[in-house]
Amino acid sequence: MGRRKSKRKGAPRKKNIQPLPILFDCPFCNHKQSCEAKLDKVRKIGRVTCTVCQEFFQTQINFLTEAIDVFNDWIDACEEEN
Ligand SMILES: [Zn+2]
């Protein structure tokens, strides 16, 4: 009798504590968690770079800007282009 190992677990619930860097899905190559967001608060520059396709986006930030905001700006910019 063959035992079938088809465990189907839902995504394990992790606590929402994310260490740096913050990762997002890439809108260009669609890789999951391949985009790294970095905020340079000194120079007021936010930058998201995809480690897979090397696509990147840079925008001005302020002291309230979070990594997700930079990423959202990137998505907006992509949509405007298309
Ligand atoms: Zn990419």
Q: What is the DSSP letter of 72?
A: H
Taking the centre of ligand 1 as the mean of its atom positions, its distance from the CA of residue 25, in whole angstroms, is 8
Rounded distance between C-alpha atoms, residue 19 and residue 3, angstroms: 39
Taking the centre of ligand 1 as the mean of its atom positions, its distance from the CA of residue 71, in whole angstroms, is 13
Kindly state the average pLDDT of the residues 30-59: 96
pLDDT of amino acid 22: 81
Q: What is the DSSP letter of 71?
A: H
- Domain extents for the chain? 22-81
pLDDT of amino acid 14: 65
What is the band of 68 on the pLDDT scale with cuts at 50, 70, 90? very high
Rounded distance between C-alpha atoms, residue 60 and residue 40, angstroms: 9
- Assigned CATH class of 22-81: mainly beta
Taking the centre of ligand 1 as the mean of its atom positions, its distance from the CA of residue 22, in whole angstroms, is 15
User: Tokens standing for 35?
Assistant: 């985009």
Rounded distance between C-alpha atoms, residue 59 and residue 74, angstroms: 8
